[in-house]
Amino acid sequence: MTPSDVKATLSFSDGSPSMDLPIYKGSVGPDVIDIRKLYAQTGKFTYDPGFLSTAACQSAITYIDGDKGELLYRGYPIEQLAEKCDFLETCYLLLKGDLPTGAELKGFMTSVTHHTMVNEQMQFFLRGFRRDAHPMAVMTGLVGALSAFYHDSTDITNAEHREIAAIRLIAKMPTLVAMAYKYTVGQPYVYPKNSLSYTANFMRMMFATPCEEYQPNDVLVRALDRIFILHADHEQNASTSTVRLCGSSGTNPFAAIAAGVACLWGPAHGGANEAALNMLGDIQKMGGVAKIGEFITQVKDKNSGIKLMGFGHRVYKNYDPRAKLMRETCHEVLNELGLQNDPLFKLAMALEKIALEDDYFVSRKLYPNVDFYSGIVQRAIGIPVSLFTAIFALARTVGWIAQLNEMIGDPEYKIGRPRQLFVGATPRDVKPIAAR
């Protein structure tokens, strides 16, 4: 870390001694005030619910400027990566720190391709789930179970183990997601095919059957590959912080990633695109495009309890840079599949138009976000709404692994131990039961 020439001075109105706090500079973005010695010197903690003003780590992976609507992977703008690179190039970048050369990419692709199969016993493990189980419930179990099959890559202190665990997780997540889908619809599992690209292989495992071979559509493959790139990492969000906190105990990578999957499941996080499509379905049931005005009126009424899902973002106070790219992809997919007049997609485009023009939404910067468009694209491709979050987990796995490995390699890393402001009962004695 680079120390700043400036220090912060913390003073107290009760006459307690003041203390100087070091300040460190980021390469871009806000500086941080180092409070590590605060408790030792003052006996006080800071209070920051949700850690919205607390930097829990130093990281060189992803940078977000919400006010500018900027997202960088290892310094590269997300727009350039989504237009000029594929998902495996992006994976290499996040893991290694730089974009690969041709030879490096070929070697990386070969490693991933030859680890896409999973142990045959995984299918017996799947049979323990109900057919109607939510895919994220299934994925939480499957990812955690990987540690029971791959004992040779569970020591996070071993760099070689971390390397092979990273490759295995990136390679096997598409296979597991496809297996979870096939199980819920009662179709036989489709094995990976090494001659296909990462994303085309996933689509084939999703949609092929023994009675009919699946021919990947290049436009749809590129659209899904872009979804993977846009969701690969997003700085210190809830699921990434969960993976870091879980991994800080020294647990194996598969368990840490399973914790990330569980956290991502929440509707306020990875389930946002599923919530957005469910919202569109509800409006359609109300009467579709003709009822949008009535729906928007309810959204504006704070007492209605109706929320506009897929619009606005907690971090971006400008247009989500990922949403711009996904909007283009959305229209490409709809045109390719001839779905411009599909009732649900017409409804989505009408809702988008209102949100981009209505002063209520514009003034509050409630622009359509990446979840809104990615949900539409996935539904058009044929991915069921319940599987959206599992697709998100597939894409985010590489970011989680990169963040986990970065933490383990940081000499300052310690097991996570958040503090609290205790507001419960003061010490008291236990009375005999008859006297209570």
User: What pLDDT was estimated at residue 266?
Assistant: 85
As a whole number, the mean pLDDT across the chain is: 91
Instruction: Label residue 316 by pLDDT band (50, 70, 90).
Output: low
What value does the mean pLDDT take over residues 216-234? 96
Has residue 52 got a pLDDT over 90?
Answer: no
How confident is residue 250, by pLDDT bands cut at 50, 70 and 90?
very high
SS (H, E, C) the chain: CEEEEEEEEECCCCCCCCEEEEEEECCCCCCEECCCCHHHHHCCCCCCHHHCCCCCCCCCCEEEECCCCEEEECCEEHHHHHHHCCHHHHHHHHHHCCCCCHHHHHHHHHHHHCCCCCCCHHHHHHCCCCCCCCHHHHHHHHHHHHHHHCHHHCCCCCHHHHHHHHHHHHHHHHHHHHHHHHHHHCCCCCCCCCCCCHHHHHHHHHHCECCECCCCCHHHHHHHHHHHHHCCCCCCCHHHHHHHHHHCCCCCHHHHHHHHHHHHCCCCCCCHHHHHHHHHHHHHHHCHHHHHHHHHHHHHCCCCCCCCCCECCCCCCCCCHHHHHHHHHHHHHHHHHCCCCCHHHHHHHHHHHHHHHCHHHHHCCCCECHHHHHHHHHHHHCCCHHHHHHHHHHHHHHHHHHHHHHHHHCCCCCCCCCCCCCCCCCCCCCCCHHHC
pLDDT digits (tens, 9 = 90+) for 379-422: 999 999 899 999 999 999 999 999 999 999 999 899 999 999 99
Confidence of residue 102 (pLDDT cuts 50, 70, 90): very high
Mean pLDDT of the region 86-92 = 98
Q: What share of the chain in percent tops pLDDT 90? A: 66
pLDDT above 80: residue 55 = yes
Catalytic residue list contains 371: yes
pLDDT value of position 274: 79
Model confidence band, residue 196 (pLDDT cutoffs 50, 70, 90): very high
Is 428 a residue whose pLDDT tops 90?
Answer: yes
Q: pLDDT band for position 145 (50/70/90)?
A: very high
Q: What is the pLDDT of residue 157?
A: 84
Q: What is the pTM of this model?
A: 0.90
Which pLDDT score, from 0 to 100, does residue 317 have? 66
Over residues 323-354, the pLDDT tens digits come to 888 888 988 999 999 988 888 888 888 888 88
Select which of 134, 233, 313, 320 is catalytic. Answer: 313
pLDDT digits (tens, 9 = 90+) for 107-124: 999 999 999 999 999 999
The stretch 356-364 carries a mean pLDDT of 84
Tell me the mean pLDDT in the region 217-239.
Answer: 96
Pick the catalytic residue from 320, 371, 410, 429: 371
pLDDT at 149 over 70: yes
In the predicted structure, residue 246 carries a pLDDT above the cut 90: yes
| pLDDT value of position 197 | 97
